[in-house]
């Protein structure tokens, strides 16, 4: 059952208070508070409420809802209602980021503490619209960005957007050949990028070529492009783009194409002494090969000689007849093509390694502190065994003799050029011997290609003082008829307590090792050796 009370007539503040309704002889009672508001107060309240609604709808912030780490984005905060204070405050994740206000001097920023840089912030003339560039989004995830404005009645209103920040790093582009490329080359270009929780795509903008494969795993994505180079591609751009929705990050590669011919040779030739090798240089090019140049022979970057090749339209050939130690080194083929009066040169090279029996140079003999003989030698490959002889008697292993082998540098003649190269020094020290006890000293050196023996005759000049170097004269090369392994010593073994074979590993004995050249600058050169070899002497090293 419901009960109504209708009040007729003027309704005013006299009705204010608590009203009660009794039902069933006061068994149930209900109360209600009545409050009549004055008309002016009600009108003000209604006007204030309507203003709040207008202000709430009037402020807006806009900007990208999706961006990448390290990127930049413009934010706009505006109102369609005049502001009480021409000022806007921006917050990032509820932390104050920047305050921008409009005054008679223009738009000012709290970040720069002065007039806005137009590339960072600006505002409208009426002070209702404010623009700010944000550059600090360096972590992936959702970011809340707010702007706040102040209206009349001291009301402050805000609006907010949520920005999704993703990792989208620049991809890396690499090629399997160095620039400049050659026309007719086949080139593989790889675009790769890190995957950091975002599923994105790799796209190519490269002469309309399509990738031959795309590889994706938990950490990386790769797109592989392969194509044949043409001269028309010179100075063109290939771009790889990593894209996710409307975001892109790209890396570009400029293609440089040489119009010079492409030259190919075998990487290396190994020649045993007294054999003949043929080196062929092949040339291919979009343009006709106009001419081959002279071949250039180098050794350790030192020029040795020019050689004429036998030429046809696409090849140039040289022969090394009965190659010897002087023929080792680098051989460079040169050729050029021509277009509209311009010449385009290219070159390619190969290595010739000479292998053969050892070469034994001159000897130095000193009397103090013990009688010592030092012989320099060259061997490629490294020596396997060394034997010493006093007269015709082979040196036996005993406490009276110490044998050593160390790396050093020798000067050798190569087609009229004097070149430093890595070699060895064999040393024999003899306790309780003098030069008067010895007529000849011989050394026999063996590698896998043969055995060479050299005999040295001691000059017994009476005007020499004790402690000076004793003159020796090489007599001839010969192979000793006797075969005995009892007193041979291997290069990497120690024969006895007093026979010290320098503890030199095989890799340290390679002929091409660079540190051997440093010693050449310190040594005095002996210009009187035979067979075109000049052996420098380092007396400090012996003692």
Same domain, 296 and 421: no
Average pLDDT over residues 361-381: 89
Same domain, 239 and 278: no
Same domain, 383 and 510: yes
191 domain residue, yes or no = yes
39 domain residue, yes or no = no
Which one of 338, 355, 372 terminates a domain? 355
Same domain, 245 and 390: no
Which one of 239, 258, 277 terminates a domain? 258
Token reading at 463 = 């005007």
DSSP 75-125: EEEEESS--SEEEEEEEETTEEEEEEEEETTEEEETTTTEEPPTTTEEE-T
Tell me: pLDDT of 44 over 80: no
Q: Quote the pLDDT of residue 495.
A: 29
Looking at the structure of the chain, the number of domains it has is 3
493 domain residue, yes or no = yes
Q: Return the higher-pLDDT residue of 288 and 519.
A: 288
Same domain, 229 and 337: no
Same domain, 408 and 374: yes
Q: Quote the pLDDT of residue 24.
A: 63
Q: Which residues contact 423 (CB under 8 A, 6 or more apart)?
A: 376, 377, 378, 379, 407, 408, 409, 410, 511, 516
Q: Return the higher-pLDDT residue of 291 and 286.
A: 291
Tell me: pLDDT of 28 over 70: no
Which one of 258, 277, 311 terminates a domain? 258
pLDDT digits (tens, 9 = 90+) for 437-491: 888 899 999 999 899 999 998 876 544 444 445 555 554 443 333 333 334 444 4
Q: What is the CATH number of the domain that holds 178?
A: 2.60.40.10
Can you tell me the distance from the alpha carbon of 333 to that of 349, in angstroms, rounded to the nearest whole number?
6
Q: Which of 232-236, 242-246, 400-404, 469-473 shows the lowest mean pLDDT across its residues?
A: 469-473
Same domain, 538 and 412: yes
Same domain, 193 and 307: no
Tell me: pLDDT of 86 over 50: yes
Q: Where are the alpha helices (DSSP H) in 252-336?
A: none
20 domain residue, yes or no = no
Of 329, 309, 320, which Cα lies nearest the Cα of 274?
Answer: 320
117 domain residue, yes or no = no
| Residue 26 pLDDT grade (very low, low, confident, very high; cuts 50, 70, 90) | low
Across the strands, what pairs with 533? Answer: 412
Q: Quote the pTM value.
A: 0.51
* Cα separations in angstroms, 230 against 153, 255, 292: 74, 10, 22
215 domain residue, yes or no = yes
Write down the residue that tokens 């090369």 correspond to.
477
Same domain, 286 and 250: no
Q: Quote the pLDDT of residue 458.
A: 80
Q: Which of 62-71, 94-103, 453-462 shows the lowest mean pLDDT across its residues?
A: 453-462
Domain range for 312? 262-355
Same domain, 390 and 323: no
Same domain, 230 and 319: no
398 domain residue, yes or no = yes
Average pLDDT of the chain is 78
- Helices and strands counted in the chain (H then E): 3, 44
83 domain residue, yes or no = no
pLDDT digits (tens, 9 = 90+) for 136-190: 788 888 999 999 988 766 778 889 999 999 888 889 999 999 988 887 789 999 9
Same domain, 247 and 339: no
């Amino acid at each position: 059952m419901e009960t109504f009370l209708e009040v007729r007539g003027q309704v005013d503040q006299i009705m204010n208070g608590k009203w009660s309704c009794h039902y069933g002889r006061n068994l149930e009672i209900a109360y209600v508070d009545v409050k009549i508001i004055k008309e002016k107060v009600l009108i003000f309240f209604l006007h204030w409420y309507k203003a709040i609604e207008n202000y709430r709808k009037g402020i807006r912030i806009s900007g990208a809802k999706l961006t990448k780490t390290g990127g930049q984005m413009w934010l706009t905060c505006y109102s369609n209602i005049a502001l009480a204070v021409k000022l806007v405050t921006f917050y990032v994740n509820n932390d104050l980021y920047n305050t921008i206000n409009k005054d008679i001097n223009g738009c000012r920023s709290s970040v720069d503490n002065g007039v806005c840089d137009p590339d960072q912030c600006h505002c409208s003339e009426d002070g209702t619209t404010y623009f700010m560039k944000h550059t600090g989004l360096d972590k992936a995830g959702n970011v809340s960005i707010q702007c706040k404005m102040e209206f009349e009645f001291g009301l402050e209103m805000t609006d907010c957007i949520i920005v999704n920040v993703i990792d989208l790093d620049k991809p890396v582009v690499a090629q399997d050949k160095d620039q400049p490329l050659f026309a007719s080359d086949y080139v593989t270009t790889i675009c790769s990028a890190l995957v950091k929780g975002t599923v994105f795509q790799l796209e190519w903008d490269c002469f309309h070529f399509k990738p031959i494969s795309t590889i994706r795993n938990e950490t990386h994505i790769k797109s592989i492009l392969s194509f044949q180079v043409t001269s028309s591609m010179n100075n063109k751009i290939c771009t790889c783009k990593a894209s996710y929705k409307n975001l892109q990050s790209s890396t570009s590669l400029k293609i440089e194409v040489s119009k010079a011919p492409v030259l190919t040779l075998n990487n290396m030739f190994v020649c045993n002494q007294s054999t003949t090798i043929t080196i062929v240089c092949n040339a291919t090019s979009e343009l006709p090969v106009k001419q081959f140049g002279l071949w250039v022979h180098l050794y350790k970057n030192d020029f040795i000689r020019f050689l004429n090749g036998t030429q046809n339209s696409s090849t140039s050939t040289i022969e090394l007849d009965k190659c010897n130690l002087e023929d080792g080194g680098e051989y460079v083929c040169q050729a050029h093509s021509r277009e509209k009066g311009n010449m385009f040169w290219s070159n390619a090279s190969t290595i010739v390694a000479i292998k053969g029996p050892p070469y034994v140079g001159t000897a130095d003999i000193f009397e103090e502190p013990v009688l010592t003989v030092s012989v320099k030698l060259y061997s490629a490959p490294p020596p396997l065994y060394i034997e010493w002889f006093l007269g015709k008697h082979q040196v036996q292993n005993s406490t009276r003799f110490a044998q050593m082998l160390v790396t050093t540098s020798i000067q050798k003649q190569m087609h009229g050029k004097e070149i430093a190269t890595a070699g060895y020094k064999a040393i024999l020290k003899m306790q309780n011997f003098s030069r008067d006890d010895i007529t000849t000293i011989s050394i026999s050196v063996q590698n896998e290609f043969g055995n060479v023996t050299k005999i040295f005759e001691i000059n017994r000049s009476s005007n020499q003082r004790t402690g000076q170097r004793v003159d020796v004269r090489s007599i001839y090369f010969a192979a000793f008829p006797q075969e005995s392994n009892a007193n041979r010593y291997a290069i990497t073994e120690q024969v006895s307590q007093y026979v010290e074979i320098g503890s030199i590993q095989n890799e340290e004995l390679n002929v091409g090792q660079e540190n051997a050249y440093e010693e050449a600058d310190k040594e005095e050169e002996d210009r009187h050796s035979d067979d075109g070899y000049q052996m420098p002497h380092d007396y400090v090293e012996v003692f």
